[in-house]
Amino acid sequence: MKFARLTSNGRITIPAPLRKKYGLHPGRKIKLEVDDNSIKIIPLVTLREVEKNIGFLETKGKLLKALIKVKKIEREL
C-alpha cells in the first residue's frame, strides 16, 4: 500500500512509482469518484491513447467514434 500526506492546501503528492505506472504527468486530467468511504483517482483517457489503439479490436471505427464522443462530453464537464 502506498501512502501520501495531505498539505495544508489540501494537496497530495502521488508517489513516483504510481505516477509512472498510470501515466500521470503534469496537466493530465483525472476524475475523482467519491463514495461513502473513499475517493478514487481515475486518469482520463487521452485522445492520443485512443488514436494509438485504432484498429486494435477491428470494429471499423465504431469504437473510436464512441470514445471520441465520450471525450467531448468529458471536456464539457
Boundaries of every domain in the chain: 1-44, 45-77
Confidence (pLDDT) at 35: 92
What does the radius of gyration of the chain's CA atoms come to, in whole angstroms? Answer: 16
pLDDT at 50: 75
Q: Once rounded to an integer, what is the mean pLDDT over residues 59-77?
A: 83
Say yes or no to pLDDT of 1 above 70: no
Q: What is the pLDDT of residues 14-60, one digit of tens each?
A: 999 999 998 898 988 889 999 999 999 998 887 777 777 777 777 77
Q: Which residues pair with 32 in a beta bridge?
A: 41
Q: Classify 1-44 by CATH class.
A: mainly beta
Are 49 and 39 a contacting pair, CB within 8 Å? no
Q: What is the reported pLDDT for 56?
A: 72
DSSP state string for the chain: -------TTS-----HHHHHHHT--TT--EEEEE-SS-EEEEEPPPHHHHHHTTTTT--TTHHHHHHHHHHHHHHH-
